[in-house]
Structure 1
Amino acid sequence: MRDLLTPRELAELCGVSPDTVRSWCFRKQIKFATTPGGHKRFRRQDVIEFLKERGFPLPTTDKLSPIKVLVVDDEESFRRSLVGALQKETAFNVKEAGDGYEAGRLIGEFEPDVLVLDLVMPGIDGFRVCRDFKNRDNGEQVKIIVVTGYPDEMMFQRARESGANECLAKPVDMNTLMDMIRNLHHNPAPRKSRGRKPRKS
Structure 2
Amino acid sequence: MRGTKRDAEAVLAEALAAASQGKFGLAPSALTVAGLLGVWFDASRRKWKPTTEACMRASADVWVEVLGAVPVAKLTAADVERALTLFERERKYAPKTCRRLFTVLRCAMRWAVKRKLVGSNPVDDVEPPAIPRREVRVWTEEEVARFMATAARTEKYMLFRMALATGMRLGELLALRWEDVDFKSGAVHVCRTWQTRPLLKG
Shorter-chain-normalised TM-score: which range?
Answer: under 0.3
Larger strand proportion, structure 1 or 2?
1
Per chain length, whose mean CA-contact separation is higher, i.e. which structure has more relative contact order (CA < 8 Å, sep 6+)?
Answer: 2
Larger radius of gyration: 2
Relative to total residues, which structure has the larger helix share, 1 or 2?
Answer: 2
TM normalised by structure 2 equals 0.24
